[in-house]
Structure 1
Amino acid sequence: MNDTPGWASPGSAPSDGQDATVPGPAAPADDTASKWSASQPPAGQWSPPSPPGAGPGAPRRPAPGWGNAGPGGAPGGGWGKPPAAKPGVIPLRPLSVGEILDGAVSTMRTHWRTVLSVSLVVAVISQIGEILVQRYLVPEPTTIDQDASASEVLRQTAESTQSNLLAEAPSLVITLIGTIFVTAVLTMVVSRSVLGRPVTLADAWNEARPRLLQLLGLTLLLPFASVVVLTIGILPGLLVGSAGGAVLAFLGGMAALLVIIWLMVRFTLASPALMLERQGVLTALRRSAKLVSGSWWRVFGIQVLTFVLVMFVTLVIALPFSVLAMTADGSFLDSLLSGDTPDFSWPFLIITGIGSVIALTVTYPISAGVSVLLYVDQRIRREALDLELARAAGVSGDGTQQPGHGSPRG
């Protein structure tokens, strides 16, 4: 049964049930043994011709490509393994971590008009929503009674969290819609950049639009599953309602957090699988679990490294704007120094919002690019997708153009 759907643009990969054996070389047409005379002359000593002007005693240089090993033990005359084809931003072979990150940045640099226009528009809209929410909807923080019992502290904390979530709901909805739009469009941009093909915003949108509802369902399903797991973890402690219950809730919450991390990594490739293989939500989840299986720690490490990189870039970009905002709004700094709740003024919100827009515009493509290229890498490693991509790009395994194809860049 074929349960390995193909990439929508390049074509399908070999199925799991397909016979992957490669037939060996054909036998010679005439297998009759050659007849040699019993009497043979002595073996001759062949030597390469000496360069012009060299005398009989001059040292002989070995012929190129025969016996003179190059770097890494490969013969120096071109007998090493040819480099992998690279029609786009990545070579068509299993990728290293650096190549995945470089491919994400190269996509942003190559298709900067399309990539940055999408990221900028979404970042501006989401930040406007965030500013309005912080200015008008965020409630005053709930003060926890220091003399309250453990159960009362848990109740007050739950009420404060519920109030903040309700206030942040409009901003979360705007951010969710923006993230879905960016993910869908940038996934198509990265898939084209792998093949070295040009892509416009209209092209990417037309390809991504039919999958938006499924992507919305997937994006909502994963946080919902996380909330369910977290609730199951802390519910026994909340029901106990004593000091022991608080400890039990903490331990259950930590255990639930580990399960959530395991699930998020296991399903981290579901989004590109859904968009590029044109499958349903549940099928995309199964595909992600299959691709991550056996490589969980590698995928986890790459995702953590990407998160750290994104946070570092965000900090470098946003920090100067935060300092400028606090300088422009003296009341905010006074509130922090006095320990009072800071009042978000318009100058502070606008300046920090500009910094956030710039940071999101840069980091959105990095996150989306790493996710798609990690998906491509896992399929190359497990399903030989590089062969399909090379055929789709019109190049052979050594990077030369196949007959009958135009330029791989369209």
Structure 2
Amino acid sequence: MNDTPGWASPGSAPSDGQNPGVSGPAEPADRPGRQPADQPGQPGPSPQGPGVKWSKEQPPPSQWSAPTGPTGPGQAPPPPPGPGWGAPPPGGPGSGYGGPGGPGGHGAWGSGWGGPPPAAKPGVIPLRPLGVGEILDGAVSTMRTHWRTVLGISLTVAVLTEIVVVLFQGLVLDNTSADALNDPSATLDELSRAMGDALLDSGVVFLITLIGTVVATALLTTVTSRAVLGKSVTIGEAWRDARPQVLKLFGLICLLMLITAGIVTAGALPGILVTVAGGGGAGVALTVLGIIGSGVVALWLMIRFSLSSPALMLEKQGIVKAMSRSTKLVRGSWWRVFGIQLLATVIANVIASIIVIPFTFLAAALSGDGVSGFLNGAGDIGWTFLIVSGIGSVIGSMITFPITAGVTVLLYIDQRIRREALDLELARAAGVQGYGSDAPGTTPGS
């Protein structure tokens, strides 16, 4: 078991200062049948090897015990303290000799090797490879331990973003596009114009939301990385640390979206061309298959690049270098990263939906046409609806931002611990004493 740093079974390697070819402890001076080499006229020990120093007849193992003091010539050795090697030391459990209450909790002497002690945990996660539950718990623990900073960042970003969105929807957008799309007698030109306006409006809202998400992710990445070391950070400190990388992070996310859109468009384009050329059902089927196939390729690439954001923020890398780092860290662990990211996204969205949906129905009920008009798509989206539903969106964003950003950062740290032994650097940064390749607790986890 020498291939695991810091943990080797007894007897698996020579002790310090002892050559592998030399035998173990020297035999006692009063050993029966031994010929002392310093007596005149008596031959010394045979040079054939260390094995001939011992008699063929050995006393029972239970009669051997650790010496408690020096024994001179003519003095009998002290009586054995117990049944032999492996007897527990005096004091019993909890006496400081490794019992259940002793240091480290390794178990009493003679009870067997029970494994290494837990890894160091200066912050929200233990410094070793993490399991799925530990990653999710680390994200929640960051919210709970540093709630002032985390909720302060999430609340500030969510409120500012939602104010811009509400003002844009209330002052700039109008309902002519929705009315045209809901009108069965609308002409093709009216429908095309309405669809174009709706896509433009949705694009602007998405861009505003994206900017808020980028800022929140940048700030929460810094907070989570400090929480791993057991250190707190204020909102101002997080902003000063993240500010130089915010524009790069925005460019990274835009580039990833363009890659996704380009792949899906390229997959659907052949079917669209066949449909326009009069292919009918064959063109539609080809379009659907192209979208599905290109969607799978886009998903595969997005998971490979999913750790680009923390790599860019924490390593102060450029956009291309961060994408390359993410690809290297995810290689060989695609399904694991995909599963954890999917689980975190589902949990965050379910929690956010539990909060947002009631606010949406409340906003519809307070509007002029009521809930029935909202469900039928004929309701008038006024300021009351926008403000009340915006409050629900703010509360939902306060939960989704920390969970998604925290899980991504902890996944990045976990992959670096598994591949690059980042736990040693984190331990030194956290001030953990005696943590290294020879320290206990460095055995990989799950």
> Could you tell me the TM-score, scaled by structure 1's length?
0.78
Contact 1:180 1:212 in 2 (8 A): yes
Is 1:372 matched with 2:409? yes
Matches of 1:46 and 1:35, distance apart in 2: 14
Percent identity (aligned): 49
Is 1:132 matched with 2:163? no
SS in 1 for 2:369: helix
**Aligned-pair distance for 1:395?**
1.0
Matches of 2:287 and 2:268, distance apart in 1: 4
Contact 1:230 1:257 in 2 (8 A): yes
Is 1:347 matched with 2:384? yes
Pair 1:397–1:107, CA change in 2 (3 A): farther
Matches of 1:237 and 1:372, distance apart in 2: 39
**Aligned-pair distance for 1:97?**
1.0
**Aligned-pair distance for 1:398?**
7.0
Contact 1:129 1:170 in 2 (8 A): no
Residue 298 of structure 1: aligned partner: 336
Is 1:276 matched with 2:265? no
Unaligned regions of 5+ residues in structure 1, if any?
Answer: 1-19, 49-58, 403-410
Matched letter for residue 59 of structure 2: P
SS in 2 for 1:140: helix
**Aligned-pair distance for 1:213?**
2.1
Matches of 1:388 and 1:146, distance apart in 2: 65
Matched letter for residue 166 of structure 2: I
Matched letter for residue 252 of structure 1: G
Contact 1:85 1:397 in 2 (8 A): no
**Aligned-pair distance for 1:387?**
1.3
Matches of 2:252 and 2:357, distance apart in 1: 33
Two-structure CA RMSD over aligned residues (Å): 3.6
Pair 1:32–1:397, CA change in 2 (3 A): closer
Matches of 2:183 and 2:368, distance apart in 1: 30
Contact 2:428 2:435 in 1 (8 A): no
SS in 1 for 2:124: coil
**Aligned-pair distance for 1:300?**
0.7
Is 1:88 matched with 2:123? yes
Matches of 2:22 and 2:362, distance apart in 1: 88
Pair 1:163–1:284, CA change in 2 (3 A): same
Alignment of 1:6-405 (within 5 A): 28=17, 34=26, 39=33, 42-43=59-60, 45-46=62-63, 63=88, 76-77=107-108, 79=113, 80-135=115-170, 136-137=172-173, 139-141=176-178, 143=181, 161-240=195-274, 241=276, 242=278, 243=280, 244-336=282-374, 339-396=376-433
Matches of 1:292 and 1:156, distance apart in 2: 47
SS in 1 for 2:117: coil
Matched letter for residue 76 of structure 1: G
Matches of 1:228 and 1:182, distance apart in 2: 27
Cα deviation per residue 1:286-342 (whole Å; 9 max; x = unaligned)?
1111111111111111111111101111112122222322221241424246x3532
Matched letter for residue 203 of structure 2: A
Q: Report how many residues are paired.
A: 360
| Between 172-181 and 92-101, the greater mean CA deviation after superposition | 172-181
Higher relative contact order (CA 8 A, sep 6+): 1
> Could you tell me the TM-score, scaled by structure 2's length?
0.72
Matches of 1:216 and 1:205, distance apart in 2: 15
Pair 1:225–1:144, CA change in 2 (3 A): farther
Matches of 1:234 and 1:345, distance apart in 2: 38
Matches of 1:349 and 1:195, distance apart in 2: 41
Matches of 1:237 and 1:158, distance apart in 2: 21
SS in 2 for 1:91: coil
**Aligned-pair distance for 1:160?**
5.5
SS in 1 for 2:177: coil
**Aligned-pair distance for 1:46?**
4.9
Matched letter for residue 248 of structure 1: L
**Aligned-pair distance for 1:129?**
2.4
Cα deviation per residue 1:56-78 (whole Å; 9 max; x = unaligned)?
xxx99963699x99xxxx97328
Matched letter for residue 96 of structure 1: G
Pair 1:159–1:301, CA change in 2 (3 A): farther
Matches of 1:129 and 1:359, distance apart in 2: 17
SS in 2 for 1:197: coil
Matches of 2:193 and 2:119, distance apart in 1: 57
Pair 1:287–1:335, CA change in 2 (3 A): same
SS in 1 for 2:122: coil
**Aligned-pair distance for 1:43?**
3.5
Cα deviation per residue 1:348-385 (whole Å; 9 max; x = unaligned)?
11111101101101221111100000101111111111
**Aligned-pair distance for 1:159?**
6.3
Matches of 2:194 and 2:267, distance apart in 1: 20
Matches of 1:195 and 1:115, distance apart in 2: 16
Q: Which has the larger radius of gyration?
A: 2
Matches of 2:409 and 2:434, distance apart in 1: 22
Pair 1:390–1:248, CA change in 2 (3 A): same
Matches of 1:44 and 1:250, distance apart in 2: 78
**Aligned-pair distance for 1:156?**
9.4
Matched letter for residue 303 of structure 1: Q
Matches of 1:347 and 1:235, distance apart in 2: 42
Matches of 1:174 and 1:25, distance apart in 2: 65
Matches of 1:357 and 1:257, distance apart in 2: 30
Pair 1:389–1:233, CA change in 2 (3 A): same
Contact 1:144 1:157 in 2 (8 A): no
Contact 1:187 1:372 in 2 (8 A): yes
Cα deviation per residue 1:30-67 (whole Å; 9 max; x = unaligned)?
7765467562673463599xxxxxxxxxx99963699x
Pair 1:394–1:32, CA change in 2 (3 A): same
